[in-house]
Amino acid sequence: MAHFKEERTLVIVKPDGVQRGLIGEVIKRFERVGLKLVGAKMMVASPEHIEQHYTLDPNWRRANGEKTIKAYRDKGLTPPSEDPLVVNSATLNGLKVYLSSGPVVCMVWQGAHAVQIVRKIAGGTEPLASADIGTIRGDFALDSYQMSDVDKRATRNVVHASGSVSEATDEIAHWFKPGEVISYRLLNEAIIYAPELGSFLGD
């Protein structure tokens, strides 16, 4: 089994994040927790590339629709439809427009528990209700499902982050060629991972 520190995840600064000058803010938050940036590029994605990205996991459509319906119910609101796939098809259409509307910054971050740590720092999907203050989505976005659904667009929440280790593996392969992700050593990784720190005293 690979060591914990080998885990990788995909982060995308979405077009709203780029336009609002938040690229550095996003990078800072992942860098300071101790993760290592092993791939980065700016690109403009096609709507087809975005649809493929979100449907790499065949269960995503249903899961996203169910999550949205539950979020409406939790607020005491009526969901746009009772059918998760109907709810999701509007979301997917909105995502294709949103994520191909301008440049995005794609990154691969590596480190122990990278997938879960990055999700925790990114925050929940919906800025209004599920993204806590202190997270990227909670600190830098105010969108809601009800507002984005009325306006027939995807919820703007600044970043994408892979939801699981297997999703991360598939998504990294979808956005990066093998040579674009770089294996290298950071000198200060020893402080985070070395089983014995030894002594820092003396010259």
d(C-alpha 68, C-alpha 6), whole Å: 33
Q: Which does 176 bind (CB under 5 to 8 A by kind): ligand ADP, Mg ion, none?
A: none
- The three-class DSSP label of residue 161 is strand
Is residue 130 a contact residue for Mg ion (CB under 5 A)?
A: no
Is residue 154 a contact residue for ligand ADP (CB under 6 A)?
A: yes
- How many residues appear in the chain? 203
Is residue 9 a contact residue for ligand ADP (CB under 6 A)?
A: no
Size of the site for ligand ADP (CB under 6 A): 15
Q: Which does 145 bind (CB under 5 to 8 A by kind): ligand ADP, Mg ion, none?
A: ligand ADP
Cα four-point dihedral sign 13, 18, 22, 24: positive
- What are the DSSP calls for 29-60, one per residue? HHHHTT-EEEEEEEE---HHHHHHHHTSSTTH
d(C-alpha 40, C-alpha 180), whole Å: 8
d(C-alpha 22, C-alpha 13), whole Å: 8
**Rounded (10°) angle between helices 114-122 and 165-175:** 80
Is residue 110 a contact residue for ligand ADP (CB under 6 A)?
A: no
Residue 135 is classified by DSSP as B
Is residue 125 a contact residue for ligand ADP (CB under 6 A)?
A: yes
Closest to ligand ADP by CB, 5 or 120: 120
160 is catalytic: yes
Residue type, 55: T
Minimum CB distance to ligand ADP, residue 179 (Å): 27
Is residue 91 a contact residue for ligand ADP (CB under 6 A)?
A: yes
Is residue 94 a contact residue for ligand ADP (CB under 6 A)?
A: yes
Binding span for ligand ADP by CB under 6 A among 19-27, 31-39, 101-109, 157-165: 157-165
Is residue 146 a contact residue for ligand ADP (CB under 6 A)?
A: no
Among 151, 64, 160, CA closest to 108: 160
Is residue 163 a contact residue for Mg ion (CB under 5 A)?
A: yes
Residue in 160, 168, 171, 175 binding ligand ADP, rule: CB under 6 A? 160
Is residue 18 a contact residue for ligand ADP (CB under 6 A)?
A: no
The strand pairing partners of 104, in sequence order, are 43
Positions touching ligand ADP (CB under 6 A) are 64, 67-68, 91, 94-95, 125, 145, 148-149, 154-155, 157, 160, 163
What amino acid positions are annotated as catalytic residues?
160
